[in-house]
Structure 1
Amino acid sequence: MQTFKRLLIYLKTQPIHYSVGLLLSIISAATSIYAPVIGKQIIDAITQASAQNESLALSFLMQKFGWFLIITFVSALTGYAGFLLFAFASNQISKSIRDEAHHHMQKLPIVYFDNKPAGKISARIVNDTEVLRNNFYQNFSNQVLVNLLSVLGIFIALFIVSPKIGTTLFILIPFFIAWQWFYVHLATPINQDWREIVSELNNQTAEVIQGVALVQLFHQEQQMIDSFEVQNQAWLKNRIQSIRLDGILSWDFSTFIKNLVMFFLLLYLGTQFNHGVLGYSMGTIYILINYISRLFDPILNLVRMMPTLQQSLAAGQRVFELLDEPIEEDSSKLLQLKQGNIIFDNVTFGYQANHPVLKKIHLTVNTGQTIGIVGHTGSGKSSLINLLFRFYDPQEGGIFIDGQRLQDFNRESIRDKMGIVLQEPFLFSGTIASNVHMQNPAITEEMVIDALEKVGAKPLLDKLPKGIHEPVIEKGQSLSSGERQLIAFARTLAKNPKILILDEATSHIDTQTEEIIQNAMNVLKKGRTTFIIAHRLSTIQQADQIILLDQGEIKEQGTHESLLQQNGQYAQMYQLQAKVIH
């Protein structure tokens, strides 16, 4: 019920369209119900004139028939106009919810995405909001209003035509309510399972697409097919359950009740003779049969709308779960970075509070220094950088830039001062230029070209027909890993950050390209503080400081030469890599 109320609140964003649409729907329902009244008048006039052997004026028939056509036309026109207004409003509301969900998603903390498959998150933003548009705001809101108005109007009309029959048929209302409740009770779990299954299908499909190379390389096609088949079979079973429920409690049951009521109506009318004269006129019998026949269509539609409502509520609940995820509280204070001195003051951090991955880290980095960070997988290297970007905050201790505690400042203002190149560069669909300037109007095309040339990407530009305007498909799959890395590196240089972070950024670059980047870095790192996470120790030999992390602790710290003299873990790593190279 809470989800239903929240969905209704969004109707307030389109008050004019829904108000006018509702008014037109009322007019459509009213005129539709009134049309048979004119039909009754025509039938009664004809039968009465025939019984009395009198002629009926053609002008009377033409007038009545003309009114019948006009009212029918008005009913159809207002119903269509109302539908268009509801459809327009539903699309606007769906867009607003999708925008809100997409905007909110980008404000969620990084930890939210750690254990959430991308396919399931995107399904809530795209698929579930589409279900809300089609099933709730367009079909449900429109059809429920129209059918409720029709049922109410037909009951009132029946009561006016025959108070006795109208009153008798009111006993069906509790039955209809019980019918509705029973249907909803059975349909709810089916539709909730359906949304979860669809979400899982989306996630599995996205996962296969993202890892298609590995799937084919390790011959996992059949396993992926089998896994998908399990979910797809679950989807099919769920839909068959829904069809069976819909068939039994909607079509078959509704037809049975409709025929039963019609039988008792005709049976009752057959007893209404007084001295051989039927107590109801032919026109009255026509309108009673017409109304009762039409009564069950909107009732059936209301019952059949319940699965649609349940699907909408399930989709709405999933969207609202995303919207209700708390965003990171952020300070309005902006970080002022002047020099770039960084201090990690006894920092302890864990993705789970009781399992620290960094322990009592104390590190001082002066302006313009280059810091190399090495260590085995899982030692805490990337976690150190995640804290620097405030993707996470430490459980103990603090990180200071120019004496300013990062936890006290706005995250965006912190990240605005930093640039990063990751081990796996991510390129967006667009062009090479758009992936470098990232829609920053301050970065001109000349600056884009300059940044690319400084990182050694000029040969790449020379071979592309459109240069920096060459299209980039999803994730830059048409480019080599080294070329993608160069573009990501140019993106960081164009930003001109005060602090540079290279997170194993040279792991996918050949030796020649690595040398080009090193030369560019010697120029660009002047006046900047630089962190380099590296597996290749050759990339950090000139660093001012090298720290070796082991199980979340700094085990060794110094220059390349001093660490070799210590003959510790760093020296062993260097000697091992030297053997591999030779």
Structure 2
Amino acid sequence: MALIISLVKELKHVKGLFATGLFLLLLATAGAQLAPLLLQNIIDNDLTQVSKGLVLNQADFLTKLAIYIGLLALAGLFRYGSFRILIACANNVVTHLRNRAYDVMQRLPISYFDDKPAGKIATRIVNDTETLRNQFYNTLLSQIFITMVQVIFIYAVLMTLDLTVGLVLLLLMPIFYGLQVLYKKATDKPMKDFYEARSDVNTQVNETMNGASIIQLYQQEEAVLNQFDQVAGKMRAADDRIVLIDSAASWTLTELLKYTVIAGILTFIGYQFLGGNLGVTAGRLFIYINYVTTLFDLLGMLVRQLPNIQRSLATGRRVMELLDEEQEADEEADLQVTAGQVDFEDVSFAYDGQNKVLKNISIHANQGETVALVGHTGSGKSSIMNLLYRFYDPQEGSISIDGQDIKRYSRESVRGKMGIVLQDPYLFTGTIASNVSMDKEDYSDEEIIQALRKVGAGDMLARLEKGIYEPVVEKGSAFSSGERQLIAFARTLIANPKILILDEATSHIDTETEEIIQRAMEVVKQGRTTFIIAHRLSTIQNADQILVLDAGQIIERGNHGQLMTLNGRYAEMQRIQEKV
């Protein structure tokens, strides 16, 4: 119930529009349910008089008939208007929810994504919000509200006509409530299984698309298809169970109840008629049958909407869980960087808060210096950079830039002072120009071209027919790995950062391209503090400092000559790479 209340509260964003739709709905319901009373009057007065041989008052009859048809027409018009408005409310509310979910996702700490597949997160933002739109808000506003208003109105009319009949028919409510309780218990598990399986399907599709080349190289198409069939089969089996329960609960039982009650009414009146004690007119009998039939149809409709409500609650719970996730606390102050001096002072860090991956790390990088981090996989190189980006904050020690503790400044301002080139560069759909400028309008075409030429991409531009406006699609798959890396370098260089971070930026580049980038970087690094994470030791021999890490600790530090003289871990790594 708390979840339903939370979802209904989201209607506050469209309260004006919702109130208008609800008002039109009330008018539509009043017109549709009062019209049969006018028909009762025609049956009991005008038509009954004719059956007794009296003359029909045609003017009165036609007036009542015109009013009856007019009421139905107006009710239909109002119903159409209310339906359109309430559907618009549902669309607006879900758009707001989806935007909030997307915004929250971007503000979550990086640790949130460490153990969650991308497919499951995408499902919450795309599929689950769409299910909420179709099966909760659309159903709730366009059907449930309409149905409930009609049910309440019918009961009010019946009790006005005959209090006893109205009270007797109220006994239907606990029956239908019990039906809903049984339905919920029967569908809880298959509903949960259905949505878990759907998330798994999304995750597998995402992984298959990203790993398509590996799957084909290792001839795993059949195995992947079998895995997909198994996951999709779980989703189908869960949905089949839901459909089976829905069929029994909504159609079979409600129809049986409806015709049982109608048969009871007709039997009771029939016995009265046979006993010569007919206390119900033909018009009144018509009203009872009409309202009872409508009442059962409406209550049956409520039961038939239970699958949608159940599905929407399952998805709504996941969306609300995402919206309620604790977001990163951040500072408002902006970091101001003039020199780019970076200091790590006795920094220790654990991703889980207990098992330290960094221990007592101290680094001092002066303006314009190049600091290289080397070590085997898992030694802590990337973790140091993650702390510098403020993807995480250390549990012990401090990190400062130009003497300013970065924990006291907003993450955006800290990252805005850095230029970052990752091992696997990511290009966005657009053009080379939009990828270099990141869609900022601060840079002219000439500046973009100059940035590309500085990193050695002049030859690439010369062969492209559209130059910097060459389209980029599918993460830049039309470009070689080296070309994508050059574009990523240009993206970083044009931002003119004070601090430059190269996360194994040359590991996927051929020797010739590496030489081009190295020459460009020697120019660009002037006056900038540069951190390099590298496996190729040949790319860092000119670094001012080389830090050798092992098990989260700095075990050696110095320049290339000093470390070779030390003849320790770095010298051993150098000899191995030379041999290879």
State the TM-score, normalized to the length of structure 2.
Answer: 0.97
Instruction: State the partner residue of 2:193.
Output: 193
> Aligned partner of 2:297: which letter?
D
**Is the aligned partner of 1:565 residue 2:565?**
yes
In the alignment, the residues of structure 2 paired with residue 315 and residue 568 of structure 1 have an alpha-carbon distance, to the nearest angstrom, of 57
**Is the aligned partner of 1:219 residue 2:219?**
yes
Please give the per-residue CA displacement for 1:136-155, whole angstroms capped at 9, x wherever unaligned.
Answer: 22221331211111111112
State whether residues 46 and 57 of structure 2, in contact with CA within 8 Å, keep that contact through their aligned partners in structure 1. Answer: no
State whether residues 87 and 141 of structure 2, in contact with CA within 8 Å, keep that contact through their aligned partners in structure 1. Answer: no
Please give the per-residue CA displacement for 1:481-533, whole angstroms capped at 9, x wherever unaligned.
Answer: 11111111111111110000000000111111111111111111111000111
Spell out the pairing of 1:382-397 with structure 2 (5 A cutoff). 382-397=382-397
In the alignment, the residues of structure 2 paired with residue 167 and residue 335 of structure 1 have an alpha-carbon distance, to the nearest angstrom, of 71
| Unaligned stretches of 5+ residues in structure 1 | none
Spell out the pairing of 1:35-46 with structure 2 (5 A cutoff). 35-46=35-46
Please give the per-residue CA displacement for 1:134-185, whole angstroms capped at 9, x wherever unaligned.
Answer: 2222221331211111111112222333333333222222222222222223
- 1:364 positional shift: 1.2
**Is the aligned partner of 1:298 residue 2:303?**
no
In the alignment, the residues of structure 2 paired with residue 248 and residue 83 of structure 1 have an alpha-carbon distance, to the nearest angstrom, of 29
Instruction: State the partner residue of 1:523.
Output: 523
Spell out the pairing of 1:265-414 with structure 2 (5 A cutoff). 265-273=265-273, 276=276, 278-414=278-414
> Aligned partner of 2:500: which letter?
L
- 1:474 positional shift: 2.8
Instruction: State the partner residue of 1:87.
Output: 87
- 1:293 positional shift: 0.8
In the alignment, the residues of structure 1 paired with residue 268 and residue 316 of structure 2 have an alpha-carbon distance, to the nearest angstrom, of 47
> Aligned partner of 1:313: which letter?
L
Instruction: State the partner residue of 2:449.
Output: 449
> Aligned partner of 2:363: which letter?
L
State the TM-score, normalized to the length of structure 1.
Answer: 0.96
> Aligned partner of 1:561: which letter?
G
Please give the per-residue CA displacement for 1:405-450, whole angstroms capped at 9, x wherever unaligned.
Answer: 2222221111111011000111112221111111222222222111
In the alignment, the residues of structure 1 paired with residue 300 and residue 187 of structure 2 have an alpha-carbon distance, to the nearest angstrom, of 15
In the alignment, the residues of structure 1 paired with residue 77 and residue 490 of structure 2 have an alpha-carbon distance, to the nearest angstrom, of 60
- 1:274 positional shift: 8.0
Please give the per-residue CA displacement for 1:216-240, whole angstroms capped at 9, x wherever unaligned.
Answer: 1222222222222121111111111
State whether residues 188 and 307 of structure 1, in contact with CA within 8 Å, keep that contact through their aligned partners in structure 2. Answer: no
Spell out the pairing of 1:529-568 with structure 2 (5 A cutoff). 529-568=529-568
SS in 2 for 1:428: coil
Q: 1:345 to 1:163 in 2, by over 3 A?
A: closer
Please give the per-residue CA displacement for 1:289-311, whole angstroms capped at 9, x wherever unaligned.
Answer: 11111111110111222222222
Please give the per-residue CA displacement for 1:11-44, whole angstroms capped at 9, x wherever unaligned.
Answer: 1111111101111111111111112122222333
Deviates more, 1:272-281 or 1:157-166: 272-281
Deviates more, 1:119-128 or 1:433-442: 433-442
Instruction: State the partner residue of 2:234.
Output: 234
Instruction: State the partner residue of 1:163.
Output: 163
- 1:46 positional shift: 4.9
Instruction: State the partner residue of 2:254.
Output: 254
State whether residues 128 and 316 of structure 1, in contact with CA within 8 Å, keep that contact through their aligned partners in structure 2. Answer: yes
In the alignment, the residues of structure 2 paired with residue 253 and residue 243 of structure 1 have an alpha-carbon distance, to the nearest angstrom, of 15
SS in 2 for 1:231: helix
Spell out the pairing of 1:463-542 with structure 2 (5 A cutoff). 463-542=463-542
In the alignment, the residues of structure 1 paired with residue 354 and residue 170 of structure 2 have an alpha-carbon distance, to the nearest angstrom, of 64
State whether residues 332 and 410 of structure 2, in contact with CA within 8 Å, keep that contact through their aligned partners in structure 1. Answer: yes
Cα RMSD after superposing both structures: 1.6
SS in 2 for 1:289: helix
In the alignment, the residues of structure 2 paired with residue 81 and residue 167 of structure 1 have an alpha-carbon distance, to the nearest angstrom, of 33
Please give the per-residue CA displacement for 1:245-304, whole angstroms capped at 9, x wherever unaligned.
Answer: 111111000010001001101001112238746332222222211111111111011122
State whether residues 140 and 308 of structure 1, in contact with CA within 8 Å, keep that contact through their aligned partners in structure 2. Answer: no
> Aligned partner of 1:288: which letter?
Y
> Aligned partner of 1:514: which letter?
E
State whether residues 193 and 234 of structure 2, in contact with CA within 8 Å, keep that contact through their aligned partners in structure 1. Answer: no
SS in 1 for 2:107: coil
In the alignment, the residues of structure 1 paired with residue 214 and residue 350 of structure 2 have an alpha-carbon distance, to the nearest angstrom, of 31
SS in 2 for 1:106: helix
State whether residues 184 and 307 of structure 1, in contact with CA within 8 Å, keep that contact through their aligned partners in structure 2. Answer: no
State whether residues 47 and 282 of structure 1, in contact with CA within 8 Å, keep that contact through their aligned partners in structure 2. Answer: no
In the alignment, the residues of structure 2 paired with residue 235 and residue 113 of structure 1 have an alpha-carbon distance, to the nearest angstrom, of 25
Instruction: State the partner residue of 2:55.
Output: 55
Deviates more, 1:226-235 or 1:39-48: 39-48
In the alignment, the residues of structure 2 paired with residue 358 and residue 277 of structure 1 have an alpha-carbon distance, to the nearest angstrom, of 95
In the alignment, the residues of structure 1 paired with residue 153 and residue 464 of structure 2 have an alpha-carbon distance, to the nearest angstrom, of 70
State whether residues 272 and 280 of structure 1, in contact with CA within 8 Å, keep that contact through their aligned partners in structure 2. Answer: no
Please give the per-residue CA displacement for 1:455-483, whole angstroms capped at 9, x wherever unaligned.
Answer: 11122222223222222113222222111
In the alignment, the residues of structure 1 paired with residue 167 and residue 91 of structure 2 have an alpha-carbon distance, to the nearest angstrom, of 41
Instruction: State the partner residue of 2:428.
Output: 428
> Aligned partner of 1:61: which letter?
F
SS in 2 for 1:441: coil
> Aligned partner of 2:343: which letter?
I
Deviates more, 1:559-568 or 1:359-368: 559-568
State whether residues 339 and 402 of structure 1, in contact with CA within 8 Å, keep that contact through their aligned partners in structure 2. Answer: yes
In the alignment, the residues of structure 2 paired with residue 262 and residue 444 of structure 1 have an alpha-carbon distance, to the nearest angstrom, of 79
In the alignment, the residues of structure 2 paired with residue 416 and residue 543 of structure 1 have an alpha-carbon distance, to the nearest angstrom, of 24
Please give the per-residue CA displacement for 1:354-407, whole angstroms capped at 9, x wherever unaligned.
Answer: 221212112211110111111111111111111111111112211122222222
Instruction: State the partner residue of 1:74.
Output: 74
Equivalenced residue count is 580
Deviates more, 1:472-481 or 1:288-297: 472-481
In the alignment, the residues of structure 2 paired with residue 567 and residue 268 of structure 1 have an alpha-carbon distance, to the nearest angstrom, of 106
Deviates more, 1:345-354 or 1:516-525: 345-354
> Aligned partner of 1:354: which letter?
Q
Deviates more, 1:306-315 or 1:239-248: 306-315
In the alignment, the residues of structure 1 paired with residue 255 and residue 275 of structure 2 have an alpha-carbon distance, to the nearest angstrom, of 35
In the alignment, the residues of structure 2 paired with residue 459 and residue 36 of structure 1 have an alpha-carbon distance, to the nearest angstrom, of 83
SS in 2 for 1:400: strand
In the alignment, the residues of structure 2 paired with residue 364 and residue 559 of structure 1 have an alpha-carbon distance, to the nearest angstrom, of 14
Instruction: State the partner residue of 1:34.
Output: 34
Percentage identity across paired residues of the two chains: 46
In the alignment, the residues of structure 2 paired with residue 163 and residue 503 of structure 1 have an alpha-carbon distance, to the nearest angstrom, of 80
Spell out the pairing of 1:2-21 with structure 2 (5 A cutoff). 2-21=2-21
- 1:123 positional shift: 0.8
> Aligned partner of 1:562: which letter?
Q
